[in-house]
Structure 1
Amino acid sequence: MHTQETPPRRPRLSPCRLLGTRLALVAALLLPGAGLAAEPGIVIATASPAGVYHATGRTLCRLLDVPCEARPSGGSAANLEAVRNGEVTADLAQSDLQYQAVTGTEGFAAVGPDPELRAVFSLHGEPFTLVARRDSGIGGFADLKGHAVNVGNPGSGQRGTMMTLLEAWGWTLDDFRPAHALPADQQSLALCHGNIDAMVYTVGHPNPSIQQAVRLCDAKLVDVTGPGVDRLVAETPYLAHATIPAGLYTADQPAVTTFGVRATLVASEQTPPDAIYAIVAAVFDDLDAFKSRHPAYSDLSPARMMSEGLSAPLHEGARRYYRQRGWLTAEPPVPPEPATPPAPADPTL
């Protein structure tokens, strides 16, 4: 797929055209067998209410003039399962887990590839963030060994990324004493109470949960670097080195070097194209207004959102909109083949 570097801006839809889009969406949602017969309007699976995913889902719903629910969930893996089972209209998922769902690898090896998974667009970058108590002696990822670490609840994107990193590092969960499986909205409190020494979070910044840990619990953000990280980024197309800007949480907070993924919006091929078209139009018809809703969206552009972190083919509803804007000049690539034969499913995921 090729995109223009600076797509031409288009004015907002005229009232007549906007009404037509909304009526088409309502009709699609009311069609028998449209894929969500038991659900009211649009349902977007998000993640913990404490993260940017849920804020993003709520923003998307506010932009639509039809019933829409931003539904909290266990995270990316759980969301991708919900899309596969036809339980939601669309969901937010990390780019690494989108790739694994498409190829049937890692935590999706047991269920196999999802041939009906479709990409809509990508969103903010999500650095893999390590937060540690200042009195823990943890100054880098290598120092986590032997400490109590929250790796995330099963089904969450942060746990999936952590398991991938542990494999590259040559570690397992047994290297922590112990590994905790708390959801994102509980880990800062556990850090404050001294129940864990460190927590990981794959999330857009700034994040209120991390802000709480840093400002109220004498915690710090820690670099995630080393040969394992370099090797992982070099071998993985959906990962990249990332930096968390200095001064984001406290005036003396230094820039933090790590790596990360991107948040993506995905849906099933069975989701009505008019429903996906309406979501895409709601975002791109006034992208500046959408970007103003959260600091994590500051670097978004149509070219990046149509390409970065997307492993699944584009949904027909999204493809229709991009063609109308003149942004899509070639068909999207075929989904990638797994680099290695699928490994047995990790029983801890």
Structure 2
Amino acid sequence: MNKIFYFMLLFISSCIASERLYLGTGDINGIYYQIGGEFCRLATNSNLNYRCAVVPSSGSIENLSLLENNEINFAIVQSDWVYQAYQGIGPFKEKPMNELRAIFATHAEPFTLVVKANADINSVLDLKNKKIYIGMPNSGTRQTAINLFSKVNLSLNDLKEVNVEYPSEALCKGAIDAFAMVSGHPNKTLVETTKLCDIKFIAIDKAILDKLMMGSPFYQKSQIPPRLYPGNIKPIPTFAVAAILVTSSSTNPDKVYALTKGMLDQQTNFNKQTFAYANLFRLNKHRVGKVIPIEQHPGAKKYFDETK
């Protein structure tokens, strides 16, 4: 009986000692959930004082809402949404999130336009009058696509926008001519698409990229890496947002420092089979600086200053 009581005390004390931290990610089948799960695992394994728990969500917008309502401590959010929330523009005009702080950028998310390999579509302008799926209303992908189209004087009226549940199947069956996504690579959806039909990616011209970069600190020139999908033998020029790990300015700096250190000191143990691994930022100099468009949390800054 004494032994049972002793082990119960040990269990209770360990639960009390280990504070649980919640990280908002994305759909359980998506990249944010996988990336967040790996970073949480590394942080938990390295610091017995904190246990990092992954919270599934619908993505960036819900993560910002959960963070604002103190339902989670940390979140992974697209850099364009981070910027708009912090600056109080776009959908955040009435309620800016000035207390939002960046920790570091986790990975690049290239804008990806997908068509069938035999399609007579080779540029963004070729999408005029074509059936295209650009994501759900208020999704990051849709807003990014609309911004891109505006740079080449294409409006939604020039396209035949179609909402579909399974874009891979819709493309290969001819229900749509193209679909867009903002995501790291390799991507599960694209892997599944290549099993249904041959595909190709549409490159974004340099002139369009230059227009996109002007006045948009959350965009960066990028590429879809080669040899990740059948037929994809060359890098495809495009642009990307970054996935940013964020928190609130009120989060304890020691807590942020411990989490950052736990996640990044063990980066060599990151599961290389994780989707989007090819676009993961592996060097600290790529995780901070211009890639994060808002103020960095002092707890995270302390870690990066120490590792310069």
Shift in alpha-carbon separation, 1:181–1:271, aligned structure 2, 3 A = farther
Q: Deviations over 1:280-301 (max 9, x none)?
A: 1112222222374643255521
Q: State the partner residue of 1:125.
A: 108
- Count of aligned pairs: 289
Query: 2:104 is paired with a residue of what secondary structure?
Result: strand
Distance 2:211 2:18 in 1: 46
User: For 1:1-349, what aligned pairs fall within 5 Å after superposition?
Assistant: 29=19, 41-63=20-42, 64-65=44-45, 66-111=50-95, 113-180=96-163, 186-225=166-205, 227-251=207-231, 253-290=233-270, 292=272, 294=274, 295-296=277-278, 299-323=281-305, 325=306, 327=308
**1:50 CA displacement:** 3.8
Pairwise CA distance, 1:235:
3.3
Q: Which deviates more from structure 2 when the two are superposed, residues 82-91 or residues 200-209?
A: 82-91
What is the distance in 1 between the residues matched to 2:259 and 2:139?
24
Q: What's the CA shift string for 1:19-39, capped at 9, x where partnerless?
A: xxxx9996694xxxxxxxxxx
Could you tell me how far 1:209 is from its partner in structure 2? 0.9
C-alpha distance 220-49 of structure 1, shift in aligned 2 (>3 A): farther
1:209-251 C-alpha deviation (Å, 9 max, x unpaired): 1122133222221212264432112332222222223222115
Check whether the contact 1:168–1:229 (CA below 8 A) recurs between aligned residues.
Answer: no
Q: Following TM superposition, by how much is the alpha carbon of 1:95 offset from its aligned partner in structure 2, in angstroms?
A: 1.5
2:133–2:179 CA contact under 8 A, matched in 1: yes
Pair 226,106 (structure 1): closer, same or farther in 2 beyond 3 Å: farther
Q: Distance in 2 between matches of 1:110 and 1:167?
A: 24
Q: In the superposition, relative to structure 1, how do residues 76 and 123 fare at CA in structure 2: closer, same or farther (>3 Å)?
A: same
Distance 2:189 2:224 in 1: 15
Alpha-carbon separation, structure 2, partners of 1:283 and 1:114: 25
The structure-2 alpha-carbon separation of the partners of 1:252 and 1:58, relative to structure 1 and needing over 3 Å to count, comes to: closer
Q: Is the 8 A contact 2:284 2:304 kept in 1?
A: no
Question: In the superposition, relative to structure 1, how do residues 238 and 24 fare at CA in structure 2: closer, same or farther (>3 Å)?
Answer: farther
Q: Is the Cα contact below 8 Å between 1:152 and 1:158 reproduced in 2? A: yes
Is the 8 Å Cα contact of residues 103 and 297 (structure 2) preserved in structure 1?
Answer: yes
Cα distance change, pair 283–291 in 1 and its aligned pair in 2 (3 A): farther
After TM superposition, give the deviation of residue 128 of structure 1 in Å: 0.6
Cα distance in structure 2, aligned partners of 1:253 and 1:315: 40
Residue segments in structure 1 that go unaligned for 5+ positions in a row? 1-22, 30-40, 328-349
Letter in 1 for 2:184: G
8 A contact 1:262–1:308 mirrored in 2: no
Letter in 2 for 1:199: F
Across the aligned residues of Structure 1 and Structure 2, the Cα RMSD in angstroms comes to 2.8
Amino acid at match of 2:141: Q
Unaligned runs of 5+ in 2: 1-12
Matched position secondary structure for 2:147: helix
- Alpha-carbon distance between aligned partners in 2 of 1:142 and 1:304, rounded to the nearest angstrom: 32
Cα distance in structure 1, aligned partners of 2:146 and 2:94: 16
**Distance of 2:296 and 2:14 partners within structure 1:** 20
Over the matched positions of the two proteins, sequence identity in percent amounts to 32
Q: What is the CA-CA distance between 1:159 and the residue it aligns to?
A: 2.0
Distance 1:316 1:138, change over 3 A: same
TM-score, structure 2 normalization = 0.82
The structure carrying a bigger helix percent of its residues is: 2
